[in-house]
Amino acid sequence: MTATMKATVADIARSCGLSTATVDRVLNNRPGASAANRQRVMEAAKQVGYLPVVDQVTLPSRPAHLEFFLPIGSNAFMTDLANHIEDYAARLPLVASCRIHKLAGISPNALQAAVENLSLRANGVGVIAIDHPRTRNILREIVEAGIRLVTLVSDVPGAPRSAYVGIDNRVAGRTAALLMGRFLGGRTGHLAMIVGSRSYRGHEEREMGFRSVLSEEFRNLTVTSAVEINDEPDISYTATMKALHNEPELLGIYCVGAGRSGVAKALLEAKPQRKPVFICHDLTRATRGYLVDDLLDVVIDQNARLIAEQSVIRLLGSIASSAPYLTRKFIEPRLIFKENVPVQ
């Protein structure tokens, strides 16, 4: 992190041609300054080096209060993400407070109930939510209250968010299909797909990407089972057992979201004569074990630590910026095999 300490409020006032009182109101996010003057002040503050910068993102001049709304449940990736957010935010002087709200499900009702507890002093909100009209309205109301918003992991493009932090999920699904086709080496047969929830735009995009590459490059492979499990491991277990029973020669299983543990449990119990290629997302303690034990062939990892860090930085950047949107920049996914599992 770099910061220029020589610049002062007076320097900013001279640069933008406004009074020091106006500059002070803008920097401290107090009322009494027009939108045009706010933009002039923030641009001048950036030019004179008053504002700190991280990864080319200008940060606010005062510590901010951040809150995150995450549907954690039993999802190991969500738990890791929440822990990384809290850890990173605690080490940043520009984060005055960071609060994690654990949603009681993925429905708009669960988000609405949690948002009722949003602090009046909140400056920025990060959220993982489904793309639904009611969700978009809830997020719109947050922004209209003067709070900056970023979406994490699964985007909600119709909401007035300042940034999306996560991987390109359609590319991730296409990558899974390419790996599946290459692993199977020209064999012809059937695949099963375990879908977390199509209500998540990210899961829908992964499925679309996967099916697109199969139709373009691997017409010898057909998805004959695609079950939506709403991220419940018990349902993924039942769906996988059924797929293995109905298709004794099943070639591959693609787990789009959560439910990885259910698939692994089914593979262990069913003991198919030839294990299907198993591809999933997110490196967790459990998937590390599946890789090492040869249950799982590859993990397409979103990198929970990097998403956590970037979500905090992008929120701080959106608070400091006069622009409604920050430059779009995807997180690059990692391909993890049993030979390159990173140290925790």
pLDDT tens for residues 264-322? Answer: 999 999 998 899 999 999 999 999 999 999 999 999 999 999 999 999 989 998 888 76
Instruction: For residue 34, give the amino acid letter.
Output: S
For the chain, domain boundaries: 64-167+304-332, 169-301
pLDDT at 52 over 80: no
Check whether 1 has a pLDDT greater than 60.
no
Q: Is the pLDDT of residue 244 over 90?
A: yes
Q: Domain 64-167+304-332, what architecture? A: 3-Layer(aba) Sandwich (3.40)
| CA 174 to each of CA 120, 168, 197, 253, 314: distance values in angstroms, whole numbers, following the listed order | 42, 10, 18, 14, 27
* Residue 296: C-alpha distances to residues 141, 268, 278, 290 (Å): 42, 11, 5, 5
Between 21 and 165, where is the model more confident?
A: 165
Specify the pLDDT at position 57: 55
Instruction: Check: CB of residue 180 under 8 Å from CB of residue 155.
Output: no
The tokens for 17 are: 């041609």
Assess whether pLDDT exceeds 70 at residue 162.
yes
Other CB atoms within a 10 A radius of the CB of residue 250 amount to 23
Q: Are both 64-167+304-332 and 169-301 of the same fold? A: yes
Percentage of residues of the chain with pLDDT beyond 90? 63
Residue with tokens 């080319």: 56
Res. 230 pLDDT band, cuts 50 70 90: confident
Residue 24, Ramachandran bin (φ over 0: left; ψ between -120 and 50: alpha; else beta): alpha
How many other CB atoms are there within 10 angstroms of residue 76's CB atom? 18
Please state the pTM of the whole predicted model: 0.79
pLDDT, tens digit (0-9, with 9 covering 90-100), for 189-219: 999 999 988 889 999 999 999 999 999 999 9
CA–CA separation, 91 vs 227, rounded Å? 41
Tell me which residue of 315, 320, 323 sits closest to 35, measured CA to CA. Answer: 323
Express each pLDDT in 56-89 by its tens digit: 556 666 788 999 999 988 788 999 999 999 999 9
Mean pLDDT of 242-255: 94
Cβ neighbours, 10 Å, residue 89: 24
**Residue 126 β-bridge partners:** 68, 150
Summarize pLDDT for 126-153 with one digit per residue, the tens.
999 999 999 999 999 999 999 999 999 9
Is pLDDT above 50 for 2?
Answer: no
Nearest of 74, 82, 117 to residue 98 by alpha carbon: 82
pLDDT classification of 20: cutoffs 50, 70, 90: confident
316-343 core/surface letters (b: 16 or more CB in 10 A; e: else): bbbbbbbeeebeeeebebeebeeeeeee
Angle at 287 between CA 284 and CA 292, to 5 degrees: 125
Mean pLDDT computed over 34-45: 73
Distance of CA 250 to the CA centre of its chain: 31
Residue 279 in contact with residue 297, Cβ under 8 Å? Answer: yes
The band of 32, judged by pLDDT with boundaries at 50, 70 and 90, is confident
CA angle 82, 289, 173 (to 5 degrees): 65
Report the pLDDT value the prediction gives residue 53, as an integer from 0 to 100. 56
φ and ψ at residue 194, rounded to 5 degrees: -105, 110
- Per DSSP, the residues of 207-269 read HHHHHHHHHHH-TTEEEEEEEE-TT-HHHHHHHHHHHHHH-TT--EEEE-SS-HHHHHHHHHH
Which CATH number is 169-301 given?
A: 3.40.50.2300
Secondary structure of 295-310 in HEC code, one letter for each residue: CCCEEEECCHHHHHHH
* Residues composing the chain: 344
- The helix/strand/coil state of 26 is helix
